[in-house]
Amino acid sequence: MHKAGFVNIIGNPNVGKSTLMNAFVGEKLSIITSKAQTTRHRILGIVNGEDFQIILSDTPGIIKPAYELQESMMDFVKSAFDDADVLIYMVEIGEKALKDDAFFNKITNSKIPVLLLLNKIDMSNQEFLEEQVQEWSLKVPNAEIFPVSALEGFNVKEVFSRIIEILPESPPFYPKDQLTDKPERFFVNETIREKILMHYKKEIPYAVEIDTEEFFEEENIIRMRSVIMVERDTQKGIIIGHKGSALKRVGIESRKDLEKFFGKQVHLELYVKVNKNWRSDQRQLKRFGYNQK
Ligand SMILES: Nc1nc2c(ncn2[C@@H]2O[C@H](COP(=O)(O)OP(=O)(O)O)[C@@H](O)[C@H]2O)c(=O)[nH]1
Ligand SMILES: [Mg+2]
Domain that holds residue 99: 3-166
Q: Is residue 172 part of a domain?
A: no
Q: Which atom of ligand 1 is nearest to the CA of 19?
A: 15
Q: Which residues of 192-221 are buried (b: 16+ CB within 10 A; e: fewer)?
A: bbbbbbbbbeeebbbbbbbbbeebeeeeee
Whether 293 has a pLDDT exceeding 70, the answer reads: no
16 labeled binding residue = yes
Q: What is the C-alpha to C-alpha distance for residues 233 and 248, in angstroms, rounded to an integer?
A: 18
Give 99-137 pLDDT, tens digit per residue: 788 889 999 999 999 999 999 999 999 999 999 999 999
- What strands, in cross-sheet order, belong to the sheet with 143-147? 43-49, 52-58, 3-11, 86-92, 114-119, 143-147
Give 153-201 pLDDT, tens digit per residue: 999 999 999 999 999 999 999 999 999 999 999 999 999 999 999 999 9
Give 67-90 pLDDT, tens digit per residue: 899 999 999 888 888 889 999 999
List the CATH number of the domain containing 247. Answer: 3.30.300.20
Same domain as 223, residue 260:
yes
Q: What is the C-alpha to C-alpha distance for residues 278 and 287, in angstroms, rounded to an integer?
A: 10
- CA dihedral of 199, 154, 23, 81, whole degrees rounded to 10: -100
Same domain as 51, residue 79:
yes
Of 22, 1, 33, 48, nearest to 174 by C-alpha is 48
Domains in the chain, number: 2
Residue 92's Cβ-side half-sphere holds a number of Cα atoms within 13 Å equal to: 14
Give 2-50 pLDDT, tens digit per residue: 999 999 999 999 999 999 999 999 989 998 888 889 999 989 999 999 9
Q: Is residue 74 part of a domain?
A: yes
Contacting residues for 94 by C-beta, under 8 A, at least 6 apart: 124, 128, 132
pLDDT the model gives residue 287: 86
62 labeled binding residue = yes
Same domain as 138, residue 236:
no
Q: How confident is the model at residue 292 (pLDDT cuts 50, 70, 90)?
A: low
Angle at 29 between CA 23 and CA 33, to 5 degrees: 80
How many other CB atoms are there within 10 angstroms of residue 19's CB atom?
22
Residue 189 · residue 211 · CB < 8 Å: yes
For the segment 214-222, the average pLDDT, to the nearest whole number, is 95
Q: Which of 138-147, 176-185, 233-242 has the lowest mean pLDDT?
A: 176-185
281 labeled binding residue = no
Q: Is residue 94 part of a domain?
A: yes
Q: Kindly list the protein residues whose Cβ atom lies closer than 6 A to any atom of ligand 1.
A: 13-19, 32-34, 38-39, 61, 119-120, 122-123, 149-151
pLDDT the model gives residue 83: 87
